[in-house]
């Protein structure tokens, strides 16, 4: 069995790491390059950077961040936020990113997934899906969860896999920031219906939640933010606990 991955996520706004609950009430969590270096040194398997800034300077700031991170870490990292073209991706990969994450731009123009996978390879293309369970159905949302679409989580995930996505980053908006655990039922269904890796996101609050998402949710990787940023869980301790419970991890 492949080793399960632990992935700290850094939401970036105006060059700083921030964290909120259910995508709101943001607070500062530190310098992203310093945090990235710390995570790489303490056993993170990968990193994800999501730029949630709405500024015109976004692209330049993001390129500078990518360059800074690439100089400091030796683990793969994914960058997302406002990416909507082959050109955007080309610039980020040239400056050191290993993968890119697309979300709203894929919903608005699904062919972008095809274009990116054909140009850069599916291993570079992560499609992030934010979904909320409403009346028993998982509905894809955009704009940090504010705007519902008509897309069903499972149908959309299958479509982007067929278009060439290499991974799905699924964030349950019902669970995000709550620290009550991941949406394991939905994750397990995604894992069963798709043939590409699924990254669990939204809801990590303690070490057992990671154990549960790997065992019950069948996730390939688990992403979290605040529990790492505010030292509620240290990655070396987490990996030892996962190993103790029979989950394969890189130590």
Which domains are delineated in the chain? 5-244 (3.20.20.70)
What was the pLDDT predicted at 223?
98
Q: Which of these is catalytic: 11, 176, 212, 220?
A: 11
Active site residue 130: yes
Q: Which of these is catalytic: 45, 51, 130, 176?
A: 130
Q: Is 74 exposed, middle or buried (0-12, 13-18, 19+ CB in 10 A)?
A: exposed
Looking at residue 52, the DSSP 8-state letter turns out to be -
pLDDT tens digit at each of 251 positions of the chain: 799 999 999 989 888 888 765 455 677 778 999 999 999 999 999 999 998 876 666 778 889 999 999 999 999 999 998 899 999 999 999 999 999 999 999 999 999 999 999 999 999 999 999 999 999 999 999 987 889 999 999 999 999 999 999 999 999 999 988 899 999 999 999 999 999 999 999 999 999 999 999 999 999 999 999 899 889 999 999 999 999 999 999 99
Q: Cα–Cα distance between 106 and 162 in angstroms, integer?
A: 13
Helix, strand, or coil (residue 251): coil
pTM of the model: 0.94
Task: Give Cα 121 distance to the centre of its chain.
Answer: 19
């Amino acid at each position: 069995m492949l080793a399960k991955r632990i992935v700290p996520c850094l939401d970036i706004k105006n060059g700083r790491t921030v964290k909120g609950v259910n995508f709101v009430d943001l607070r500062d969590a530190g310098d992203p390059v310093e945090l990235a270096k710390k995570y790489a040194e303490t056993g993170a398997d990968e990193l994800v950077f999501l730029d949630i800034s709405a500024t015109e300077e976004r692209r330049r700031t993001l390129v500078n961040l990518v360059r800074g991170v690439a100089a400091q870490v030796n683990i793969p990292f994914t960058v997302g936020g406002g990416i909507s073209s082959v050109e955007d991706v080309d610039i980020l990969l040239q400056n050191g990113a290993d993968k890119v994450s697309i979300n709203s731009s894929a919903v608005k123009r699904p062919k972008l997934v095809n274009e990116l996978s054909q140009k850069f390879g599916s291993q570079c293309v992560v499609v992030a899906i934010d979904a909320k369970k409403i009346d028993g159905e998982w509905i894809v949302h955009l704009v940090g969860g504010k705007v519902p679409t008509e897309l069903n989580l499972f149908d959309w995930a299958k479509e982007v896999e067929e278009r060439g996505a290499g991974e799905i980053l699924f964030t349950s908006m019902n669970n995000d920031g709550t620290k009550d655990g991941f949406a394991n039922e939905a994750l397990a269904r995604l894992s069963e219906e798709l043939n590409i890796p699924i990254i669990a996101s939204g809801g990590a609050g303690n070490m057992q939640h990671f154990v549960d998402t790997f065992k019950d949710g069948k996730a390939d990787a688990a992403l979290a933010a605040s529990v790492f940023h505010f030292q509620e869980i240290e990655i070396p301790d987490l990996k030892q606990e996962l190993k103790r419970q029979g989950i394969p991890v890189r130590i």
